[in-house]
Amino acid sequence: MKEINPGIKVLLSSGFSINGEASGILARGCNGFIQKPFTIKELSGKTREILEEK
């Protein structure tokens, strides 16, 4: 996706911890991470945070 549109915002959702497998995936260009399970409030907050990034 980043190759097609470098400006795209990507939020990674995973059951892996940020210190494990998720950190390698984040390094590929994700803008944020949210670990499962999460609430709708956490998801909306993280989405807003990423969309507001310059």
Query: What pLDDT score was predicted for residue 27?
Result: 80
Query: Mapping DSSP to helix (H, G, I), strand (E, B) and coil, where does residue 13 land?
Result: strand
Q: What is the pLDDT of residues 35-47, one digit of tens each?
A: 999 999 999 999 9
The 8-class DSSP code of residue 11 comes to: E
Query: Mapping DSSP to helix (H, G, I), strand (E, B) and coil, where does residue 8 land?
Result: coil
Residues 6+ away with beta carbon under 8 Å from 47: 11
- pTM for the model: 0.75
